[in-house]
């Protein structure tokens, strides 16, 4: 195969080739200058963007040293950080908190809460750290948690006050009778004993509520149902007499014992009886009956008061719903909670003008010795 030999270029062809080369070189130079201007504009825009960002941006090199910090980052951390080791800056300026990736910065009077996140290493080993000031959100979360605790505390205190009111009124009435000079010694002794009994009951309620506030579980207690009915009679009878209300009680299950939170059940029944007293007014009648059948204990509180509209009956057990100006709206909610905690419930039968009947129904626990 023979090679083709190109003839040498003459002067004119060399001049044309040089001209084309010069034009291409000029175009390349112009394009490079244009690229430089675009890169400069992009850098200016990037610098302006970093300066305008509300989040702090820290650029790190492959060795973890700070290359650049935007204005927000300097405001959150400090000036003069370029060239310093990022981890050393974090150890010096930031204090870890209970929340992951959140740190505190500053003294107590100027404390700020910062959230940190990092990008993965780029091809050169550098990273970008983003800082967000979450102080306002943290304060809102803290205030919400504080308000929830206060609400829970207020509900507990209101519930305690609701349960203390009736036995305290009974104790005051018994104590007032002691001041009567004509009271017979036997009656005086009985009033004194009942006063002390009601005060002891109040002390136990407060102790149990304090235990509940500390998170301690109240243990179950084995008690006689009829003894509980007698205790409720001693509590309600003087209050009913003072309001000219006829109160009767009967226990139709002698010898039946129940294992549960006695104070809670007594408090629930007291709430039902106190609501009945409010419903009947002077000259009314209320009754308490305890019975058992089919492995269940049933407490029936009945009154001949004004009754309850059907539209209100569905809301009566909602917390803080009340139809009385001086009511807390917790009594029935607490009572139903106690019933359900023991596996039972409270039902209501009522018609306007025909009185109301509340039934607290509790299943008797299965006893091992009866199995």
SS3 track for 277-317: HHHHCCCCEEEEEEEEECCEEEEEEEECCCCCCHHHHCCCC
In a domain, 3, yes or no: no
Asked if residue 149 and residue 122 are part of one domain, the reply reads no
Asked if residue 129 and residue 61 are part of one domain, the reply reads yes
pLDDT score of 143:
82
Asked if residue 345 and residue 225 are part of one domain, the reply reads yes
Adjacent-strand bridge partners of 102: 115
Asked if residue 186 and residue 253 are part of one domain, the reply reads yes
Higher pLDDT: 191 or 316? It is 191
Q: Considering 98, 133, 168, which residue would you say is the last residue of a domain?
A: 133
Give me the mean pLDDT over the 4-33 stretch.
76
What is the Cα–Cα distance from 338 to 110, expressed in whole angstroms?
47
pLDDT score of 137:
85
pLDDT score of 262:
86
In a domain, 208, yes or no: yes
pLDDT score of 224:
92
In a domain, 13, yes or no: no
Read off the CATH number of the domain in which 121 is found. 3.30.450.20
Give me the mean pLDDT over the 299-310 stretch.
88
CB 223 within 8 A of CB 204: no
pLDDT digits 0-9 by tens, 125-158: 888 888 888 888 888 887 876 776 667 667 666 6
Give me the mean pLDDT over the 279-301 stretch.
90
In a domain, 38, yes or no: no
pLDDT score of 319:
59
For the chain, the average pLDDT equals 79
The torsion angle over the Cα atoms of residues 331, 334, 337 and 342, rounded to 10 degrees, is -100
Q: Considering 133, 161, 190, which residue would you say is the last residue of a domain?
A: 133
Task: For the sheet with 246-251, list strands across it.
Answer: 246-251, 285-293, 296-303, 356-363, 345-350
Asked if residue 61 and residue 208 are part of one domain, the reply reads no
DSSP 106-164: S-GGG-EEEEEEEPPP-TTS-EEEEEEE-HHHHHHHHHHHHHHHHHHHHHHHHHHHHHH
CB 271 within 8 A of CB 277: no
pLDDT score of 217:
44
In a domain, 202, yes or no: yes
pLDDT score of 289:
94
pLDDT digits 0-9 by tens, 309-335: 877 777 777 755 566 655 545 677 778
Higher pLDDT: 257 or 99? It is 257
pLDDT score of 163:
65
Quickly list H helices, the chain: 11-52, 71-76, 86-93, 135-178, 185-213, 225-242, 262-280, 310-313, 331-341
Asked if residue 184 and residue 117 are part of one domain, the reply reads no
What is the Cα–Cα distance from 227 to 237, expressed in whole angstroms?
15
pLDDT score of 215:
41
In a domain, 16, yes or no: no
Helices 331-341, 135-178: axis angle to 10 degrees equals: 100
Nearest alpha carbon to residue 96 among 116, 81, 77: 116
Higher pLDDT: 300 or 199? It is 300
Q: Considering 109, 133, 157, which residue would you say is the last residue of a domain?
A: 133
Asked if residue 293 and residue 231 are part of one domain, the reply reads yes
End-to-end CA gap in the chain: 114
Asked if residue 194 and residue 120 are part of one domain, the reply reads no
pLDDT digits 0-9 by tens, 35-88: 877 777 776 666 666 666 678 888 888 888 988 888 888 888 888 888 899 999
The yes-or-no verdict on residue 210 having pLDDT over 60 is no
87-96, 215-224, 346-355: least confident range: 215-224
What is the Cα–Cα distance from 55 to 70, expressed in whole angstroms?
9
Q: What is the pLDDT confidence band of residue 286, given thresholds at 50, 70 and 90?
A: very high
Overall domain count for the chain:
2
Asked if residue 228 and residue 166 are part of one domain, the reply reads yes
pLDDT score of 216:
43
pTM of the model: 0.47
Show Cβ contacts of residue 236 under 8 Å, excluding neighbours closer than 6 positions.
166, 170, 247, 249, 270, 273, 274, 277, 288
Please list, residue by residue across 322-356, b when 16 or more beta carbons sit within 10 angstroms of its beta carbon and e when fewer do. beeeeebbbbbbbbbbbbeebebebeeebeeeebb
- Positive/negative CA dihedral, 316, 320, 324, 327: positive
In a domain, 112, yes or no: yes
pLDDT score of 248:
92
The yes-or-no verdict on residue 14 having pLDDT over 80 is no
Strand-pair category, 221-224 with 296-303: unpaired
Read off the CATH number of the domain in which 173 is found. 3.30.565.10
Q: Structural domain of residue 291, as residue ranges?
A: 143-370
Q: How far is CA 4 from CA 1, 7, 11, 13, in A?
A: 10, 9, 22, 19
Adjacent-strand bridge partners of 112: 105
pLDDT score of 299:
95
Asked if residue 336 and residue 260 are part of one domain, the reply reads yes
Asked if residue 148 and residue 124 are part of one domain, the reply reads no
pLDDT score of 3:
60
Task: For the sheet with 127-133, list strands across it.
Answer: 66-69, 56-60, 127-133, 112-118, 102-105, 95-96
Give me the mean pLDDT over the 187-208 stretch.
78
Asked if residue 299 and residue 197 are part of one domain, the reply reads yes
Report phi then psi at 285, rounded to 5. Answer: -135, 140
Show Cβ contacts of residue 344 under 8 Å, excluding neighbours closer than 6 positions.
296, 360, 361, 362, 363
pLDDT score of 371:
39
In a domain, 6, yes or no: no
């Amino acid at each position: 195969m023979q090679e083709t030999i190109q003839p040498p270029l003459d002067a004119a062809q060399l001049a044309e080739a040089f001209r084309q080369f010069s034009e291409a070189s000029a175009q390349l130079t112009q394009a490079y200058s244009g690229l430089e201007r675009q890169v400069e504009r992009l850098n200016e825009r990037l610098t302006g963007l970093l300066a305008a960002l509300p989040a702090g941006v820290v650029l790190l090199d492959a060795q973890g040293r700070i290359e650049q910090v935007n204005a927000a980052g300097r405001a959150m951390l400090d000036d003069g950080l370029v060239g310093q080791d990022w981890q050393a800056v974090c150890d010096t300026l930031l204090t870890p908190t209970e929340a992951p990736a959140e740190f505190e910065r500053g003294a107590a009077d100027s404390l700020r809460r910062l959230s940190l996140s990092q990008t993965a290493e780029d091809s050169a080993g550098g990273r970008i750290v983003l800082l967000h000031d979450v102080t306002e959100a943290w304060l809102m979360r803290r205030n919400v948690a504080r308000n929830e605790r206060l609400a829970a505390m207020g509900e507990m205190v209101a519930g305690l006050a609701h349960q203390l009111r009736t036995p305290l009124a009974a104790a005051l009435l018994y104590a007032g009778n002691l001041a009567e000079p004509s009271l017979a010694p036997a009656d005086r002794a009985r009033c004194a004993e009942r006063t002390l009994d009601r005060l002891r009951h109040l002390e136990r309620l407060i102790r149990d509520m304090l235990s509940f506030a500390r998170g301690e579980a109240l243990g179950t207690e084995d008690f006689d149902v009829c003894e509980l009915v007698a205790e409720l009679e001693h509590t309600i009878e003087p209050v009913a007499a003072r309001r000219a209300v006829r109160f009767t009680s009967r226990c139709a299950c002698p010898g039946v014992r129940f294992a549960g939170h006695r104070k809670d059940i007594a408090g629930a029944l007291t709430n039902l009886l106190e609501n009945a007293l409010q419903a009947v007014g002077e000259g009314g009648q209320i009754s308490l009956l305890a019975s058992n059948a089919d492995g269940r204990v049933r407490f029936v509180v009945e009154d001949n008061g004004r009754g309850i509209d059907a539209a209100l009956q569905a809301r009566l057990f909602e917390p803080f719903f009340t139809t009385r100006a001086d009511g807390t709206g917790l009594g029935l909610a607490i009572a139903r909670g106690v019933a359900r905690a023991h596996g039972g419930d409270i039902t209501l039968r009522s018609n306007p003008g025909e009185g109301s009947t509340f039934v607290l129904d509790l299943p008797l626990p299965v006893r091992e010795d009866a199995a």
